[in-house]
Amino acid sequence: MVRYESGTVVVLTAREAITLPNVRGATLRVTNGTVWLTQEHDRKDVVLRKGDNWVVEKDGATVVEAQSDALFCVV
C-alpha cells in the first residue's frame, strides 16, 4: 500500500489518475500542470492549476486525475 505523507511529491502524465486514501486535512499543492479531483461522497469536483493549494475536506478516497502532465505535493 502506498502512503501519502507530508512532503510526498506526485508526478502524473495527462489522464493518469491516483487515489489518495484517507488524507483529510492534507494540503495538495500543484506546482505544474492541471489536476481534477473529487472526494468520496461529495458531489463537488475541484480543478487545480499551477500555484493552487487545496485542503482535503473529507475522510475516504480522494481521486486526482491529471488534465495535463502535472506535479503536486501532499503537505
Tens of pLDDT along 10-61? 999 999 999 999 999 999 999 999 999 999 999 999 999 999 999 999 999 9
Degrees (nearest 5) of the Cα angle 38, 7, 40? 15
> How sure is the predictor about 8, in pLDDT bands with cuts at 50, 70 and 90?
confident
pLDDT at 4: 63
Half-sphere exposure of 41 (CA within 13 A, CB side): 6
Single out the residue of 71, 68, 75 nearest to residue 54, CA to CA. Answer: 75
First to last CA, the chain: 19
One-letter amino acid of 15: R
Residue 50 to residue 23: CA distance in whole angstroms: 21
Report which DSSP code applies to 25. T
pLDDT at 7: 78
pLDDT at 2: 54
> How sure is the predictor about 3, in pLDDT bands with cuts at 50, 70 and 90?
low
